[in-house]
Amino acid sequence: MAVVQRRIGGIFGLFFLLLVLAAGRTVYLGLLRGGTLRQAASAQQLTNEPVTAQRGAIADRNGVDLAVSEPARDVSADPYLIADPLGAARRLAPLLGATQSSVLTKLTRRSGFVYLARALPAHQADAVMALKIPGVSGAPVMRRVYPRGTLAAQVLGFVGTEGKGLAGLEYSRNKLLGGRSGERRVVSDAIGQPVSITETSPVTPGASLALTLDTNIQQRTEEVLGAVGRVFNPKDATAIVMDPRSGALLAVANWPQVNANDPGASSSAAQEDRAVGFAYEPGSTFKAVTISGALQEGLITPDTGFNIPDQIHVADRTIHDDTEHGEETLTTSQILARSSNVGAIKIGLLEGATRFNSWVHRFGFGTPTGVELPGEERGLALPLAKYSGSSMGNLPIGQGELVTPIQMASAYSAIANGGILHPPHLLSAIDGRTRPQPAGRRVISSATAAAVRHMLEGVLAPGGTASEVSIPGYQLAGKTGTASKIDPATGEYSKTAYIASFIGFAPASDPKLLCAVVVDEPQTGSIYGGTVAAPAFGQIMSFALPYMGIAPG
């Protein structure tokens, strides 16, 4: 009996000891560590999560989507929780579009967090989540998609993995497109399942942008530049199609092309929008500016005659015409049509340095146009104080100054539309609200503009430098340019590197479309603006004019 009582006493003592330990543990956890544990529980059950705003869409003038956002997930893993890295990598790799070895490398890192994929499309991410691999999770994000791939890629730009614009309109209008992210409070149960979600800070979606670009004209312009690339093998090329009456840009194309959905596959040079970022010496296309100023000053008329030898001396420089010829008499119109260097210099000398310099700046050179694209160069319009004795021997023919394609297109639009310089623009509406466009400013009189337009018709007429370009039913006007580039090794004009360009509009008497084509360093076939760039102008305009419903004339 005593043995039984001792055993009962021992059991009672053991239970009493356990009770004391439990009470002590309760006091320890409830009083001494209560605050810490409540904090930990709250952290595990209550989280504040950022909610990414949906980025605004970008569409063309007809509502065709050029950039949109769609649901996606950032897929991540905690390698410490992956029980079978090799098996997990084998199952995940095909769904992530990655190699098994690359996924395995990530899953075996000594880290508590690693990205397996950023902005994975929703259908792929859903398949990954369906595997229910412990340690693999996905956070909802938005993925930027460019439905037309390469179309206008340099204009649109692209978005980085953090959802911010890195180039093009995506960069310059990032604040508008990006909106404002919000925040939500998520309460989860013991096994991590959400039981309550509350919005604590509202999301403001990004604004949608409607552009002046026309997808079909843009597509045709890029196709033509692609053909120029294949035939002449240039360093690069750009083309602009504009409504000269308003400055609205219908196409801004660059070659080589870039896939906006995979910009990393192209070089940084290819990603540059050359229409605004390429500063070059314009050569003979600048002669229209020289002649416009002299006409406006009343120094010449289209029929004023000049004695033109095949070379002229200005200070210490001797400048030749492109082809050797005996002394001849040419009118102003013939000087422009035949692109005589000597004739253009004589007209520039009539103006004098001060008046010539004033016209250069009045046409907008040396100043950004203000188009809504990032990286616009201002070019270089030589200040009057820096003119040398020979400056008036090279500036009137487009040497010694730097311009951009968008500046040249803008200057020619003033000639085309009756003398008003309209700032070129791409944005037509924001969230469906039409965007007011800045008023243009008068540069030359309507009479001067009409006279220059008529003279520019001669460039495409028999004997002109682009006489082989025509579009049945339409009277064209424009100007060729073939400019030597500076050789950086010698500081002298190169004998092998040229810029071939053409800028023109139609119908000549009442222009409704303008097109500029600039080809950098054509290598094969030809180097001349009349045979490289002018035919491209003709091909682009032969599509765009009837497409826009512009009647022949």
pLDDT in tens, 191-212: 445 555 666 677 788 999 999 9
Q: What is the pTM of this model?
A: 0.86
Which residues make Cβ contacts (< 8 Å) with residue 82, sequence separation at least 6? 88, 107, 133, 134, 135, 136
Is 34 a member of any domain?
A: no
For 5-19, what is each residue's pLDDT tens digit? 666 666 666 666 666
CATH of the domain at 171: 3.90.1310.10
Q: What pLDDT is stored for residue 191 in this prediction?
A: 45
Looking at 211, 240, 274, the residue that finishes a domain is 211
Regarding whether 157 and 50 lie in a shared domain, the answer is: yes
Regarding whether 223 and 155 lie in a shared domain, the answer is: no
Regarding whether 227 and 202 lie in a shared domain, the answer is: no
Is 64 a member of any domain?
A: yes
Regarding whether 202 and 240 lie in a shared domain, the answer is: no
Regarding whether 248 and 167 lie in a shared domain, the answer is: no
Looking at 160, 189, 211, the residue that finishes a domain is 211
196 φ/ψ angles, rounded to the nearest 5 degrees:
-155, 130
| Order of strands, sheet of 194-201, starting from the edge strand that comes earlier in the sequence | 46-51, 182-188, 194-201
Banded model confidence at residue 359, pLDDT cuts 50, 70, 90: very high
Report, in angstroms and rounded to the nearest whole number, the Rg of the chain calculated over CA atoms: 34
Among 112-116, 311-315, 419-423, the range of highest mean pLDDT: 419-423
Q: What pLDDT is stored for residue 122 in this prediction?
A: 86
Is 222 a member of any domain?
A: yes
Regarding whether 246 and 202 lie in a shared domain, the answer is: no
- Residues 290, 347: contact at Cβ < 8 Å? yes
- Residues 468, 475: contact at Cβ < 8 Å? no
Across residues 503-518, what is the average pLDDT? 97
Is 395 a member of any domain?
A: yes
Regarding whether 292 and 186 lie in a shared domain, the answer is: no
Is 270 a member of any domain?
A: yes
Regarding whether 283 and 157 lie in a shared domain, the answer is: no
> Which bin fits 378, alpha (ψ -120 to 50), beta or left (φ > 0)?
alpha
Regarding whether 390 and 327 lie in a shared domain, the answer is: yes
For 93-120, what is each residue's pLDDT tens digit? 999 999 999 999 999 998 888 999 988 8
When divided into structural domains, the chain yields a total of 2
Banded model confidence at residue 48, pLDDT cuts 50, 70, 90: low
Is 20 a member of any domain?
A: no
Q: What angle do CA 255, 504, 357 make, to 5 degrees?
A: 100
Regarding whether 443 and 473 lie in a shared domain, the answer is: yes
Regarding whether 514 and 428 lie in a shared domain, the answer is: yes
Across residues 463-485, what is the average pLDDT? 95
- Residues 91, 134: contact at Cβ < 8 Å? no
Residue 26 has pLDDT above 70, yes or no: no
CATH of the domain at 474: 3.40.710.10
Find the domain containing 201 and state its range: 43-73+140-211
